[in-house]
Amino acid sequence: MKLSVRGEYALRALTHLGLYYGPEVLRIQAIADEQRIPKRFLEQILNELRNGRFVESRRGVAGGYRLAAPPDKIFLAAVIRHVEGALAPVGCVSEKFYEKCNCPDESRCALRAVMKEVRDAIAGILEKRTVADLVKKAVELKNQPMGADDFVI
């Protein structure tokens, strides 16, 4: 699995919405500015997340987006599968997006066996982690002092 920029931005937007979780909506421009995501790209991503029922939207002057469920109910594996597709590094080990491989004997393919272990490890982590975990980590990291390598001149 390789997380694309689209997937990264989707998770960053969900984290931002999770930080401000509640009945109020957040404006796209505010999310885009704070997360440094191009607004037009963010609009596409949020629309895709709305179609996946991860976020809700409200139209109009006072419109914006909010999470469709509490942050601890939105699992990262589900979001990534919706935005990116398979968690598996190769299609022949994917449970939800299986693709036949070119191996002479799929059941005895060493590469497939190892990639299945990789898929299981990735899925095992992402199926337990939620937007709430990202929010918690974001708060922890924000409260840490900047290290010597964390500043720009």
For 74-97, how does the pLDDT look when each residue is reduced to its tens digit (9 = 90+)? 999 999 999 998 888 888 888 888
Quote the pLDDT of residue 85: 87
What are 124's two structure tokens?
């095992």
Higher pLDDT, 151 or 72: 72
Q: Enumerate the H helices of 69-130 as residue ranges.
A: 76-84, 110-126
pLDDT at 106 (0 to 100) = 81
- 5-141 has CATH 1.10.10.10 classification: yes
Q: What pLDDT is recorded for position 96?
A: 82
CA dist., res. 46 & res. 30, Å (int): 13
Find where tokens 């949020």 sit: 46
Per residue in 128-147, pLDDT tens? Answer: 999 999 999 999 998 877 76
In single-letter form, the type of residue at position 78 comes to A
Neighbours of 88 (CB within 10 A): 22
- pTM of this structure: 0.86
Backbone angles phi, psi at 152, to 5 degrees: -125, 140
pLDDT mean across residues, the chain: 91
pLDDT value of position 98: 83
